[in-house]
Structure 1
Amino acid sequence: MENGTHFRTCHLCEALCGVAITVKDGRIDSIKGDENDPLSQGHICPKATALQDLHEDPDRLRRPIRKTGDGWQEISWDEAFDLVANRLHQVRSQHGRNSIGVYLGNPNVHNHGSLVATMPFLRAIGSQNRFSATSNDQLPHMLTSLEMFGHQILFPIPDIDHTDLFMCIGANPMASNGSLMSVPDIRGRLKALKQRGGKLIVIDPRRTETAKVADEFHFIRPGSDALLLMAMVHTLFDEDLVDPGPAERLVKDIDLLRLASVPYTPDAVSHRTGIEPETIRELARQLAQTRKAALYSRMGTSTQAFGGLATWLSYCLNILTGKLDTVGGMLFTQPAIDLVTLGAMSGQKGHFDKRRSRVRDLPEFAGEYPASTMADEMLTPGEGQIRAFVTVAGNPVLSNPNGRRLDKALEGLDFMVSVDYYLNETTRHADVILPPTAALERSHYDLIFNMFAVRNVAKFSDALFKPADDTRHDWQILIELTHRLERLRKGGRLPLRSELGWRTFKQLGPDPILDMLLRTGPYGANTGPARKFLQPAVDLVMDILPERHPLRSLVRLSPVNREWNGLAKGLSLAALRDNPHGVDLGALQPSLPNRLFTRDGLIQMAPRRFLQDLGRLHEALSTDPDGDFRLIGRRHVRSNNYWMHNSRRLVKGKERCTLIIHQQDADRIGLKAGDMAEVQGGGQQIVLPVEINEDIMPGVVSIPHGWGHDREGIRQSVAQSHAGTSINDVLADDQIDHLSGTSVLNGQSVSIKAWQAKTSRQSA
């Protein structure tokens, strides 16, 4: 790579921060914020500087390795591909296609090459036993969007740059930089909110980093968010504050929602939520009476026992108060590559509960079963038992509930392969590890997070460094395995057309596909003077073709759609290369009804499956909390899951894997700051140091997620020296949101006691 400064987007979280990386003598000399990036405008968080650590990490694998009786052995790529393809084919031939399981980790969505290659790979595997990080994360948002708006990834995004009231529940964007809301420099944006006279309200079981800068903060008991939100809905109807505004002509079944909310008065839910009735009413009034306002909910409301209901109700509150599709409220993005419309064109808007898992009868979502049942499917004998497993950029032993049980399940597999460049807590169980190139050795475009950004932008970066000889990109690994599996399935040979197609893809890669999608998207080809001749023909096509004709969808997506006449044109890969800082495509704009994908073109305010789940919520009204503690996770700005803990820059400083407990609870148990506490839950126990403060609600304790690097057999020296302990080792994998199938990661019951070193020990 040439010396000088190169511009990219940091891929380490969802924020899309632009970085300026200076290279000197072939190595990274500095990493700074790109002041000309249209979205981040020079802001970066501490994670960005760790891009160098991850790129230069001596623990990162560069060649395939195979497990032998004498330890790990490096092998050639051809040998590795042959071994993996033959073993997977053998398992499938002997035990059926569902005997292979696949798990996809969340780094895949930061990688357009992996995204392009994943679907053909999954088709070649052919198994229904597919899992991903989705059901440990944002599944309730996807299900709600599917049911209400007709598409699983059509998420309303807070227009934070123009709102006057930002109400944040179960989210901590000061630490996460936003989630399903790509928002670099959230601190600066919240400061601007206050400077224009706006207000920040935070509701959370912990006084988070975001709560500490809020104008108003309220504790809430973990898992009771749906009760609070339903009481706010009740208040809107009770005080005649319902006004959907611009969306009024598009909403359906508001009366059903009104009837559903009747039992959930603020007085009825107060004892379960820990929030006073008048406070609940005032929260509803503020949302209704502030013209530009947005209610944003995230992990705390998603990954809990009522995650589906809580997410649905947060959407409903925005709609009932006229905040959907309004500037300063909640808006849909219009990205340069519109995966929402592309998916709808191909019939991939999403689906739910088309089949059920073998052991626990859990519903699939978009072809995936809940990740919490992976171990069940491996440990339970019978037809369809998972006997071989593939992980791609994932470490579910640390990110999935009951990680120790999953450890046991992975040990018993016939065969396992991991596409990963670390020997970590999950990949240590693999027979073969296929390491991809590092992120700075491949091109980058954010296909996914541009759909969630608080402003429409587009940015492409070529590889910063040339990959070393005899290395492979992740898309090359997946495509090569796909090719070989298809040939084995066809008896060793493929038709000439298929063979040529695979060879072409291997040669060209995903970037030409990216270019085609940019050119044919809303901001694509500039037809110039020809538009005045094309437009009448286009209008005629839209008038005469049936509503669901595929050509209508194609025109709707393309640059010649009249709806996009006011958008910038001429976007392509070449245009983005000419603008290395990125291209500003404008603020989010109202887009309804064109952005809806429901059958009747209306917003479904009361989907039947949500109404049916209200019986479970009603039972919670009369249930008193038990005497145990409720456990919640937490996020730090210098951490994002397990895969950043091998960076010295990110783990240095004060110990972060601690148990946070309120002073009065610590006094009752006999704990002091710095003591070791034993946490028991899910039939397991862990031990970790105590941190005492009053930023957490009494009766609640908090442990950060992603730690637990003390297991044997991993090769991450920095992570091992800052091992911490895994919160998921004390979270039961049989606790799920019964509506969506999402793992309960927040609000499970645990017991706490002082650790007695003579009689107890921390399990490995």
Structure 2
Amino acid sequence: MPETNSSSPPKTGDLEEKITYCSICEQVCGLKVTTKGDQIVRIEPDKENPYSWEDFCIKAATSDELRTHPARLLSPMKRVGDRYVAVSYEDAIGEIADAFRRIMDEDGPDAIGSYTGNPNGFCFTNSVFHNAFMDALGSHNRFWVGSVDQNAVHYVGEEMYGSAWTALIPDVDDCKCFLLIGSNPAISAMNWVGAVPRGWKRMLEAMSNGAELIVIDPRKTETAQKADLHLSPLPEMDWAFLLGVLRVIFDRGWVNEKDCAEAVGVDEIKRIAQAVNLEDLSARCDIPVRDMEVVAEKFARAETATCLARTGSAMGRNGVLTEWLTHVLNLVTGRTDRPGGRILSQGVANVMDLGANVFVQSRTPSRVRGYAPVAGAHAVAEIPDEIETPGKGRLRGFIINGGNPVVGGPDGDRLDAALSKLECLVAVDLMQRESHRHAHWLIPGVHFLEREEIHVLIGCMHDVPFVQGASAVVSKPSGVRHEWEFYKRLAEALGVTLFSGVFAPDPTAVEEALLGMGGRMTREKIKAHPHGVIFGERQIGNLRKSLYTPDKKIHACPPDLAALLKSRLAEPASRSDIAQFPYQLITRRRLQMMNSWLTESSGTRIRKDVGSAIEINTGDATRENLQNGDLVSVQSSIRAIEAVVHVSSDVRPGVAVMEHGWGSRTFDPVTGAVLSERGKNRNRLVSGEDLDPLTRVPRFNGVPVRIERRP
């Protein structure tokens, strides 16, 4: 494809049009922002962007509401009693450095930990300087939002391809059969560790040309409503359905012999699949054997096909099995890194190379539970143990960087109590949220519309070679510093060296160094194309040349995954607690909000009961004598919350649905007043102990509950 370029933005009177992109999700939609001075008048899609503007949504259109939120932090704030006072950066950095130094002198570097959330990941300078700071301290105690919904893809990438940063993206344009597990691209768009801009619309176009869409989801989602076939399994049991499909494919010889022969372990997964009775698998997932056979034939005999799982299946105790078996299904039928299948991401560099050579991951197990990290980070579920359990390396200092784990993680009540016991809690964010109630220091964040950068990592994870630099369309508030500057100055105050001296501690130097490793684009070329640039043809077939497994082969049946699969097969086919907890709670997405953040701003624009409602099947409501609007108690094994009933035919019997990410308060740090609160935190029902054994993801989707009318 040819390079694209455009002239500088025009000015109209005192109005000016500026070009950047949205940093809320991986679609990185191109934006045209009309400003008047440092006021934003309008945010629109940038239709001169050659790649990513057509997924523009209300989250981008209303993103200035967060930038101008009345609770926004405009200077560092120090806790004094139960209130905060504004202080200078110099004083804040000096006192935080003193506290961290004392803690490390007494208890070692692992006594300082951190949690990073979505906003951190979508700000390149913040994420790389934060990680460089933790590297410089020598701390292995890092926790991240990936342990809420993303660890499955990283774990499987590491085990099968040798890199936790293996981004295999669906080739939607050439696909003739889509098999989606727990995925709703009509709402969430086509991204998850890699992006396909306009992916849902492109899928619909492929369907208009004869492609089939098969959706596996307990709820008839907006995507399922367009499907040729929708099957509604029990939550957490997608793996059993996939194993049944694989059994049929192996039995009937619908495999790609060449791709199977080039991989390691196909014979072992075949033995496991063929040893299982299809009726047993059917009972586990509650999908008839005949439907498994139909899906197996449609998928295996299609000219091209792709199977992918998303957060619906990943946010539970069996998410890693489902993610793994989708990759196995693609592999054995010849869909891995083939046209119409799942292809290695394209961009300014090979993300697997960067993962192996730059974003080096810690392998140190957690102190209390002994869990290995995934993609270099431990699970949010482990934080309370690491704070409350005495011993060398107990967490005493902590940074929450752009995240809200009390709401986004499991058992927030326990985490909130644990955070109150820290000696130095630092929150880096745009405002004081629920997770920051006990912070000793509040450090302002910078909104994405106020920063200039090239996000090299996101620039590696597209379905075509594309890159765009972000521009600051308005100035950041006077006196507010970029997060990377905070970490640089804090490192200097502690006398530690960022990037081990390999890179200069300057964002431009880091960006240029990483771009140089890719050798595909320079900073100058990127800056010369403000609307973004597609700088080459899409390439397919590079995965097998990029593998980081020791033998440079795809590993179809890693031992730990095979062992977990066998242990699940040895369990009873149905839940033993179903009489006590007859429902399983799952989550859903809404177009107007990003789950786990932005509820404080964009959430004001949608229905009043959103975030407080529990959706149940019509038949279940009749049996329970419940109607729309009834107030109920939702009880799990650890806690109860209240919700308002919403009766629906879109959810299967025995399943209940509540949105994830609500129930977060924002605060006026000066007065302590609660400025906003909406919805219920359904994650309070989720245990921090009941986890996926390999990825440590809690049981967000599938947690057993009972529902009782409130008097």
State the TM bucket, normalised to the shorter chain.
over 0.9
Instruction: In structure 2, give the amino acid aligned to 1:745.
Output: F
Query: What is the distance in 2 between the residues matched to 1:403 and 1:703?
Result: 16
Deviation, structure 1 residue 721: 4.5
The equivalent residue for 1:480 is 489
Deviation of the 1:742 alpha carbon: 2.1
Secondary structure, in 3 states, of the residue corresponding to 2:173? Answer: coil
Separation in 2, partners of 1:334, 1:670: 53
State yes or no: 1:115 paired with 2:127.
Answer: yes
Q: Which residue does the alignment assign to 1:511? A: 508
Q: What's the offset of the Cα at 1:696?
A: 0.5
Of residues 257-266 and 648-657 in structure 1, the stretch that sits farther from structure 2 once superposed is 648-657
The one-letter code of the counterpart of 1:482 is A
- Aligned equivalents of 2:44 and 2:658: distance in 1? 31
Instruction: Tell me if structure 1 keeps the 8 A contact 2:250–2:270.
Output: yes
Amino acid at match of 1:204: D
Query: In the alignment, which residue of structure 2 is the partner of 1:547?
Result: none
Displacement of 1:593: 2.4
Q: Quote how far apart the aligned CAs of 1:244 are.
A: 5.3
The AA in structure 2 aligned to 1:515 is E
Pairwise CA distance, 1:405: 0.6
Alignment match, 2:657? 702
SS of 1:32 mapped into structure 2: strand
Q: Supply the distance in 1 between the matched residues of 2:588 and 2:357 (Cα, whole angstroms).
A: 39
Alpha-carbon contact 2:158-2:164 (below 8 Å) kept: yes
**Contact in 2 for aligned 1:250/1:601 (Cα 8 Å):** no
Could you say what the CA RMSD is over the residues aligned between the two structures, in angstroms?
A: 2.5
Q: Secondary structure at the match of 1:613?
A: helix
Tell me the distance in 2 between the aligned counterparts of 1:8 and 1:259: 52
1:608 is the counterpart of 2:556: no
Q: What TM-score do the two structures reach when normalised by structure 1?
A: 0.86
Asked if residue 134 in structure 1 is aligned to residue 146 in structure 2, the reply is yes
The whole-number CA distance in structure 2 between the counterparts of 1:214 and 1:364 is 37
Q: Indicate if the aligned counterparts of 2:631 and 2:643 stay in contact, CA closer than 8 A.
A: yes
Deviation at 1:731, TM superposition (A): 0.6
**Offset at residue 248 of structure 1 (A):** 4.2
SS of aligned partner of 1:208? coil
TM-aligned CA distance change 1:187 to 1:344, over 3 Å: closer
Cα deviations across residues 237-267 of structure 1 (Å, max 9, x unaligned)? Answer: 111111155x345311211111111233332
Q: Is the 8 A contact 1:162 1:328 kept in 2?
A: yes
Matches within 5 A, 1:262-341: 262-341=274-353
User: Unmatched 5+ residue regions in structure 1?
Assistant: 488-493, 524-570, 757-764
3-state SS in 2 of match to 1:73: strand
Does residue 644 in structure 1 map to residue 598 in structure 2? yes
Cα distance between partner residues in 2 of 1:715 and 1:266 = 62
Identical residues among aligned pairs (%): 29
3-state SS of 1:461 partner:
coil
Deviation at 1:70, TM superposition (A): 5.4
Q: Contact 1:88–1:100 at 8 Å: present in 2 too?
A: yes
Quote the Cα distance in structure 1 between the aligned partners of 2:280 and 2:596.
40
Rounded to whole Å, the distance in 2 between the matches of 1:335 and 1:323 is 21
**1:194 partnered with 2:207:** yes
Does 2:475 align with 1:466?
A: yes
Using the alignment, how far apart are the partners of 1:410 and 1:334 within structure 2?
Answer: 40
* Cα pair distance change 1:70/1:727, threshold 3 Å: closer
The AA in structure 2 aligned to 1:662 is N
Contact 1:644 1:650 in 2 (8 A): no
Partners of 1:463 and 1:747 lie apart in 2 by: 42
C-alpha contact (below 8 Å) 1:363/1:370 kept by paired residues: no
Answer yes or no: is 1:581 the counterpart of 2:531.
yes
| Cross-structure match for 2:641 | 686
Give me the whole-angstrom Cα distance separating, in 1, the residues matched to 2:242 and 2:668. Answer: 46
Q: Distance in 2 between matches of 1:65 and 1:101?
A: 20
Where 1:8 maps in the other structure, the secondary structure is strand
- C-alpha contact (below 8 Å) 2:132/2:499 kept by paired residues: no
Equivalent pairs counted in the alignment come to 693
1:419 to 411, 421, 428: 428
Cα distance, 1:258–1:450 mapped onto 2, change above 3 Å: same
Query: 1:57: Cα distance to partner?
Result: 1.9
Unmatched segments (≥5 aa) in structure 2: 1-8
Contact 2:58–2:591 (8 Å) recurs in 1: yes
- Structure 2 residue aligned with 1:394, among 390, 396, 403? 403
Q: Which one of 430, 453, 458 corresponds to residue 449 of structure 1?
A: 458
Q: Does 1:240 align with 2:253?
A: yes
Q: SS of the counterpart of 1:389?
A: strand
Larger mean Cα displacement after TM superposition, 133-142 or 624-633: 624-633
- Deviation, 1:720, is 5.5
**Conserved? CA contact 1:422–1:716, under 8 Å:** no
- The correspondence for 2:76, drawn from 64, 80, 83, is 64
Seen in structure 2, the aligned counterparts of structure 1 residues 342 and 417 have a Cα distance that, compared at 3 Å, is same
Amino acid of the structure 2 residue aligned with 1:309:
L
TM-score, normalisation: structure 2: 0.92
Structure 2 counterpart of 1:412, one-letter code: K
CA apart distance, 1:642: 3.2
Q: 1:446 to 1:211 in 2, by over 3 A?
A: farther
Q: C-alpha deviations, 1:556-575, integer Å up to 9, x for none?
A: xxxxxxxxxxxxxxx32221
Give 3-state SS (helix, strand or coil) of 2:272's partner: helix
Aligned-pair distance for 1:620?
Answer: 3.4
| 1:220 to 2:233 alignment | yes
8 A Cα contact 1:124 1:485, kept in partner = no
Specify whether residues 648 and 285 from structure 1 end up closer, same or farther in structure 2 by C-alpha distance, changes over 3 A only: closer
SS of 2:571's partner is helix
Identify which of 424, 428, 441 aligns with 2:437: 428
Query: Deviation at 1:592?
Result: 3.8
- Do the aligned residues in 1 keep the contact of 2:346 with 2:463 (CA within 8 Å)? no
3-state SS in 2 of match to 1:593: helix
Q: Distance in 2 between matches of 1:638 and 1:717?
A: 29
User: Contact (CA 8 Å) 2:614, 2:657: kept in 1 or not?
Assistant: yes
**What amino acid is aligned across from residue 220 of structure 1 in structure 2?**
P
Which has the larger displacement, 718-727 or 590-599? 718-727
Q: CA deviation at 1:166?
A: 1.3
Determine helix, strand or coil for the equivalent of 2:434: coil
Amino acid at match of 2:239: A
CA contact (8 A) 2:336 2:342 kept: yes
Q: Contact (CA 8 Å) 1:325, 1:591: kept in 2 or not?
A: yes
What is the CA-CA distance between 1:513 and the residue it aligns to?
A: 2.5
Residue 406 (str. 1) matches residue 415 (str. 2): yes
2-side partners of 1:455 and 1:17: how far apart?
Answer: 15
1:162 aligns with 2:174: yes
Deviation at 1:583, TM superposition (A): 0.7
